Amino acid sequence: MRLDFNVLWVDDQPGAIQAQITRIAGYMKEQGFQFSPTLCHSMAELENKLTEDVFVDEVDMVLVDWDLGAGARGQDAIERIREKIRYKDVVFYSAQTAPNILMDLVREHDLEGVYCCTRAELVNEVEGVFDSLIKKVLDLDHTRGIVMGATSDVDHMVNECLDTIHASLNEQGKKQLIAAALVAVDKKLKELTKLAEKLKTMTDIAAFYKAHMLFTSMERLKLLKTALQAGGSHENPGAHASVVKYMEEVVPERNNLGHVVLVPEGKPISVVNAEGREVSLEDMRDLRCTILDVRTEFRLLLTTLRG
In this prediction, residue 139 carries a pLDDT of: 66
In this prediction, residue 77 carries a pLDDT of: 97
Task: Report CA 10 to chain centroid distance, whole Å.
Answer: 23
Nearest residue to 10 via CA among 65, 47, 57, 79? 65
On the question of pLDDT at 270 being above 60, the answer is: no
Helix ranges, 94-236 (H): 99-108, 122-137, 140-168, 171-199, 217-229
CA angle 122–125–131, rounded 5-degree value: 140
On the question of pLDDT at 278 being above 80, the answer is: no
User: What is the radius of gyration, based on Cα positions, of the chain?
Assistant: 24
On the question of pLDDT at 211 being above 60, the answer is: no
Cα 4 from Cα 23, distance rounded (Å): 16
On the question of pLDDT at 260 being above 70, the answer is: no
* Percent of the chain predicted with pLDDT > 70: 88
**83-122 residue pLDDT tens:** 999 889 999 999 999 999 999 999 999 999 999 999 999 9
On the question of pLDDT at 206 being above 80, the answer is: no
On the question of pLDDT at 142 being above 90, the answer is: no
Confidence of residue 281 (pLDDT cuts 50, 70, 90): confident
In this prediction, residue 263 carries a pLDDT of: 54
Sign of CA dihedral 77, 80, 84, 90: positive
Return mean pLDDT, the chain.
Answer: 87
Portions of the chain given CATH number 3.40.50.2300: 4-137
Give 107-115's long-range contacts (Cβ < 8 A, gap of 24+).
108/75, 109/75, 109/76, 109/78, 109/79, 111/75, 111/78, 111/79, 111/82, 113/87, 113/88, 113/89, 114/78, 114/89, 114/90, 115/89, 115/90, 115/91
On the question of pLDDT at 209 being above 70, the answer is: no
Task: Report CA 125 to chain centroid distance, whole Å.
Answer: 23
Q: With contact defined as beta carbons under 8 Å apart, do 29 and 289 qualify?
A: yes
Q: Does domain 4-137 have CATH number 3.40.50.1980?
A: no
Q: With contact defined as beta carbons under 8 Å apart, do 11 and 17 qualify?
A: yes
The DSSP letter of residue 210 is G
Q: Write down the pTM of the prediction.
A: 0.78
* Phi, psi angles (nearest 5°) of residue 289: -65, -45
Confidence of residue 248 (pLDDT cuts 50, 70, 90): very high
In this prediction, residue 277 carries a pLDDT of: 67
Q: Strand 271-272 and strand 261-262: pairing? A: antiparallel
Q: How far is the first Cα of the chain from the last one, in angstroms, to the nearest whole number?
A: 32
Q: With contact defined as beta carbons under 8 Å apart, do 159 and 304 qualify?
A: no
